[in-house]
Chain A
Amino acid sequence: MISILVVDDHPLVHDGIKTMLKDEPSLRITGACKTAAETLSFLMDNEPDIILLDISLPDLDGLELCMKIRAKCHHPKIIGLTSTNEAGIITSLLQRGGNGYLLKNMERSELLEAIETVSKGKVYLSRAANEKILEQFQVPKSLATDDPLLTRREKEILHLLADGLKGPQIAEKLFLSPLTVETHRKNLFRKFNINSLQMLLRIARERNILP
């Protein structure tokens, strides 16, 4: 017997989920909350096994509510329920203690699969969410290293700085305003988190950005 709490400000969603789960005797909806405050007060007296949590709530962001629930109790498995399919939201829900992620336009089978998976202590992601998450790793980026990515201009300026040129000279050489060069220089410092030209050049050489 698995107890389920549905948190959604939309009454229709409650009805829809209730309808989908009516033929499952092992699953029982023990509560339905419309706001974050309602949810938190419900959880004072109840400890459901599963929480179907809508991320968009009128009083508090679902992601934050997830974090608050996790801070209070570890038992309930939280499955995010949302109509959006954005990787950022998905990962941040998981980071905040969520156990699964479902899109609202799910099919009945998906819902049952999700409940079953998280109940076993595993993470469940809907098919669409899965695809989104995988997209992140297709970006070639400098994921392999910690080195910040340098823009073309930053590379040019770094080389000229290594040649011993000063800001105004670089500006003249690259047909840029000295202010622009200064901004690039500051950005370089910030990217490498250092505050002197010497250090910048040393790090750049260490990391083979400069010969």
Chain B
Amino acid sequence: MPFQPKFYSLTKGFSTLVLITMTGICPAQNPVADSVTRILSSHLADSAKVQSLFELGRKSWFGRNLENASYVLRESIALAEKTKYFTHQADAYNLLANIYLKQEEFDSTFLSLQKAMDQNNKAFLPFIHETYSRLYYQLGDYPSAFHYAQLSAAGYEKSADPNIQLLCIYPYLLAGDVLIKLRQDEKAFEYYQAAYKKALTASENWYIKNPIQKMADHFLSKNKFEKAKHLYDTIILIDRDAPSHEPILYSYEGLGRVAMKQNEFKNAIRLFRQALTYARYQHLSIDEENLYTQLGAALLADKQIDSARYYLNQAISGSTRNKSYNNLSRSYFYLSSLQEQQKDFQNAMLSYQLHKSYEDSILSIEKIRAVNHLEVLYQTRHKEEEIVSLQKAHLEKDFEIRRRNIYISIAFGLVLALAAIVLLLRHNFQNKQRLQSERVKQMEQQQQVVSLQSMINGQETERARIAKDLHDGLGGLFSTVKMYFSSLKHDAPELNHNELFQKSFELVDTASLEVRRIAHNMMPEVLMKLGLVDAVKDLCDNISAGKLLKVSLEAHGMSKRLNDSTEIMLFRIVQELLNNVIKHAHATEAIIQFIKENSRLSVIVEDNGQGFNTKEADLLKHAGIATIQSRVNYLNGKMTIDSQKNVGTTVMMDFLIHEE
């Protein structure tokens, strides 16, 4: 590990301070930490900072610097969470998962992938599926790995972007690797070929190297050396234009293995050395140890014992550090055979035992891995179940709430409906009561009207009767007495000088005039005999004769007489109004107007007097309007008073006259 593993455990808040201190101590050793600090303290927008950190993390990943990449990416993720800038978040989590996978931290890998999934970035799903596939491959769950590889490949293929479509090469290769593990070599080769065909569509040679290498490996395993060699050579040839790491390394290694199988040990040594140089140059530590072992084996085969021992020991120490048990087992196997050749049987025995034990440990590791995987699977499933049960509980709670809500709304609705019914009933009851009371009131009013009518009628009838009695009875008597007196005066002329007789004669005359006046006021004979218009005309003439007020009469459509009580009532109304004009208006002119058209009768009494405020109820009472109003009501008429100060008053009455 060439870079500071310390970064790994640094917390964010603390990191800046430590980083600065460390920068002071060893500035050349942590350029990435410097970059992070620079980015974080820069004046860039938060989104730009996240972007920069992410790019830095990716660069570190491509530079095979896992610790730095992990650190920078975690910084990037944290800042993105804080600033809600999630554009690269799925990508960052996925990269982090790949890093954890390389570091064989499977739990963290799972967690990171889960987080990547949580970003809900559909376009990024194939990337995540690819990582899942790698994870399951590493965990030895080949069916799952195969499933995710296929998902990922299908996802990439669906993309509209041809560059992303090309990425399906990698899940194809992964699927092939899985099939190799499942010992389905031919089927695996088909997947490699599919990857190869896809890679051919790319404009660059970059993509083609991996599929070719896989195909070469396949040919090598089938001992088709020429084909394998040709393909490895092709990769190396291509790589001159577009350098990459693994394919070229594996090609040298592959060529070396071909040479070994063809017993061309010197050639193999040369090729392995070349691969090793490449691995060292690219800091590919795991492959480095593997190459040490292979080189050791080749040297051993070439009888260069010391060199072989040196490389095998290098391989053993490196692999021990890396816990690469597979390589350790193989290295001890070669060392054992070397020691055997040296007749050092005791050490050979020991090495062999170590080889075996490591082989066992590989098995046990595999077992542990399997168990771990099962554990992880169990945990995952447990978590999934938990999630499901939580979701179920949530749903149930939701349902419960909804059900409660429904109950509440039903209850509320019922209460409302009940309230509405109660209100309606009450309203109805009140209405009924009001209606009843109104009906009673109406009846009372009707009764009042009827009684008023009969009272007025009775009054008028009585008046008419008394007036007639006064006229015909008392009036007749007085007239007759006067006639006798008159005859007596004729018979005895000397009575003309009798003062007592003269006084009696005058008094009888005055009494008869008085009776006539009273009778007339009670019920004008002209009203009874000739009707309303003539009676009113007489009235007008009588008033006008006084010289103070000239009253004119306008009558249109009144040739036909109305019924007696209506005429009496109208006469009384006009009489009353004229009394008001005389008493209060101080008018000099007045017009009384009867206009009848069909059943409509309009009666207007207008004066040019001082007028009054129609809103003053007192004045209305004072002016005796109330009496008039009641008479108008008796005839079912409508009266409007329109009065202007110093201009005059117009009293307007409208009646509907029902003629027999």
Identify the stretch in A25-33, A137-145, A197-205 within 8 Å (CB) of chain B at 4 or more residues: A137-145
User: How many whole Å from B1's CB to the nearest CB in chain A?
Assistant: 102
Identify the stretch in A8-16, A38-46, A116-124, A161-169 within 8 Å (CB) of chain B at 4 or more residues: A8-16
| Contacting residue for A152 out of B480, B491, B647, B654, CB 8 A | B647
| Contacting residue for B480 out of A13, A84, A140, CB 8 A | A13
Specify the chain A residue showing the minimal Cβ separation from B591: A151
Q: Which residues of B contact A12 (CB under 8 A)?
A: 476-477, 480
B530 within 8 A of A: yes
User: How many whole Å from A12's CB to the nearest CB in chain B?
Assistant: 4
The answer on a CB contact under 8 Å between A187 and B526 is no
The answer on a CB contact under 8 Å between A176 and B483 is no
The answer on a CB contact under 8 Å between B516 and A83 is yes
Q: Which residues of A contact B535 (CB under 8 A)?
A: 88
Identify the stretch in B35-43, B467-475, B623-631 within 8 Å (CB) of chain A at 4 or more residues: B467-475
In the bound complex, CA of A13 to CA of B526 (Å):
22
The answer on a CB contact under 8 Å between B557 and A190 is yes
| Contacting residue for B640 out of A135, A148, A177, CB 8 A | A177
CB under 8 Å from chain B, chain A span 5-23: 8-10, 12-13, 15-17, 19-20, 22-23
**Candidate in A17, A23, A104, A142 with the most chain B CB atoms within 10 angstroms:** A104
A68 within 8 A of B: no
The answer on a CB contact under 8 Å between B490 and A23 is yes
Q: Which residues of B contact A8 (CB under 8 A)?
A: 476
CB under 8 Å from chain B, chain A span 178-211: 180, 183, 186-187, 190-191, 193
**Candidate in A63, A92, A109, A139 with the most chain B CB atoms within 10 angstroms:** A139
| Given A84-B520, A89-B525, A89-B530, residue A190 in contact with residue B544 (CB < 8 A) | no
In the bound complex, CA of A176 to CA of B551 (Å):
25
Specify the chain B residue showing the minimal Cβ separation from A192: B556
| Contacting residue for A148 out of B482, B484, B556, B602, CB 8 A | B556
Q: Which residues of B contact A180 (CB under 8 A)?
A: 640, 642, 652
A108 within 8 A of B: yes
The answer on a CB contact under 8 Å between B541 and A186 is no
| Given A92-B534, A104-B475, residue A140 in contact with residue B552 (CB < 8 A) | yes
User: How many whole Å from B649's CB to the nearest CB in chain A?
Assistant: 10
In the bound complex, CA of A148 to CA of B554 (Å):
7
In the bound complex, CA of A8 to CA of B479 (Å):
13
The answer on a CB contact under 8 Å between B650 and A152 is yes
CB under 8 Å from chain A, chain B span 526-566: 526, 529-530, 534-535, 537-538, 540-542, 544-545, 550-554, 556-557
B606 within 8 A of A: yes
B221 within 8 A of A: no
In the bound complex, CA of A176 to CA of B644 (Å):
12
Q: Which residues of B contact A56 (CB under 8 A)?
A: 468, 471-472, 525
Specify the chain B residue showing the minimal Cβ separation from A136: B541
The answer on a CB contact under 8 Å between A139 and B483 is no
User: How many whole Å from B647's CB to the nearest CB in chain A?
Assistant: 7
Specify the chain B residue showing the minimal Cβ separation from A131: B545
| Contacting residue for A20 out of B483, B595, B606, CB 8 A | B483
The answer on a CB contact under 8 Å between B606 and A86 is no
The answer on a CB contact under 8 Å between B479 and A183 is no
User: How many whole Å from A176's CB to the nearest CB in chain B?
Assistant: 6
Q: How many of chain B's residues touch chain A, expressed as a range?
A: 35 or more
The answer on a CB contact under 8 Å between B475 and A135 is no
B509 within 8 A of A: yes
User: How many whole Å from A193's CB to the nearest CB in chain B?
Assistant: 8
The answer on a CB contact under 8 Å between A190 and B479 is no
The answer on a CB contact under 8 Å between A84 and B471 is yes
The answer on a CB contact under 8 Å between A16 and B544 is no
The answer on a CB contact under 8 Å between A88 and B530 is yes
In the bound complex, CA of A63 to CA of B593 (Å):
27
In the bound complex, CA of A208 to CA of B542 (Å):
31
In the bound complex, CA of A8 to CA of B480 (Å):
12
B604 within 8 A of A: yes
| Given A88-B526, A152-B647, residue A139 in contact with residue B541 (CB < 8 A) | yes
B171 within 8 A of A: no
CB under 8 Å from chain A, chain B span 484-534: 484, 486-487, 489-491, 509, 512-513, 515-516, 519-520, 524-526, 529-530, 534
| Given A105-B482, A151-B606, residue A87 in contact with residue B476 (CB < 8 A) | no
| Given A107-B486, A140-B552, residue A83 in contact with residue B512 (CB < 8 A) | yes
| Given A88-B534, A149-B552, A191-B554, residue A139 in contact with residue B540 (CB < 8 A) | yes
In the bound complex, CA of A180 to CA of B487 (Å):
61
A153 within 8 A of B: yes
User: How many whole Å from A43's CB to the nearest CB in chain B?
Assistant: 22
In the bound complex, CA of A71 to CA of B525 (Å):
24
Q: Which residues of B contact A88 (CB under 8 A)?
A: 526, 529-530, 534-535, 537-538
Specify the chain A residue showing the minimal Cβ separation from B490: A108
| Given A13-B476, A23-B490, A104-B476, residue A153 in contact with residue B650 (CB < 8 A) | yes
A172 within 8 A of B: no
Q: Which residues of B contact A142 (CB under 8 A)?
A: 552
| Given A56-B468, A88-B537, A190-B597, residue A153 in contact with residue B591 (CB < 8 A) | no
Q: Which residues of A contact B552 (CB under 8 A)?
A: 139-142, 149
In the bound complex, CA of A87 to CA of B654 (Å):
29
| Contacting residue for A108 out of B483, B516, B519, CB 8 A | B483
The answer on a CB contact under 8 Å between B602 and A139 is no
Q: Which residues of B contact A92 (CB under 8 A)?
A: 529-530, 534
Q: Which residues of B contact A148 (CB under 8 A)?
A: 554, 556
| Given A153-B606, A187-B593, residue A86 in contact with residue B520 (CB < 8 A) | yes
The answer on a CB contact under 8 Å between A140 and B487 is no
B211 within 8 A of A: no
The answer on a CB contact under 8 Å between B476 and A83 is yes
Specify the chain A residue showing the minimal Cβ separation from B486: A108
| Given A16-B483, A186-B597, residue A83 in contact with residue B475 (CB < 8 A) | yes
Interface flags, A85-99, vs B, CB<8A=1, else 0? 111110010000000
Can you list 12 A-B contacts with CB-CB less than 8 angstroms, sorted by A residue number?
Answer: A10-B476, A13-B480, A19-B483, A19-B484, A20-B483, A63-B529, A83-B512, A139-B541, A139-B551, A176-B642, A177-B640, A190-B557
Residues on B lying within 8 angstroms of A by beta carbon are 468, 471-473, 475-480, 482-484, 486-487, 489-491, 509, 512-513, 515-516, 519-520, 524-526, 529-530, 534-535, 537-538, 540-542, 544-545, 550-554, 556-557, 591, 593, 595, 597, 600, 602, 604, 606, 608, 640, 642, 647-648, 650, 652, 654
* Other contacts beyond A20-B483, A63-B529: 18, CB < 8 A: A8-B476, A9-B472, A23-B490, A88-B526, A88-B535, A89-B529, A104-B475, A104-B476, A104-B483, A104-B512, A105-B482, A105-B509, A135-B541, A135-B542, A141-B553, A148-B556, A152-B650, A190-B595
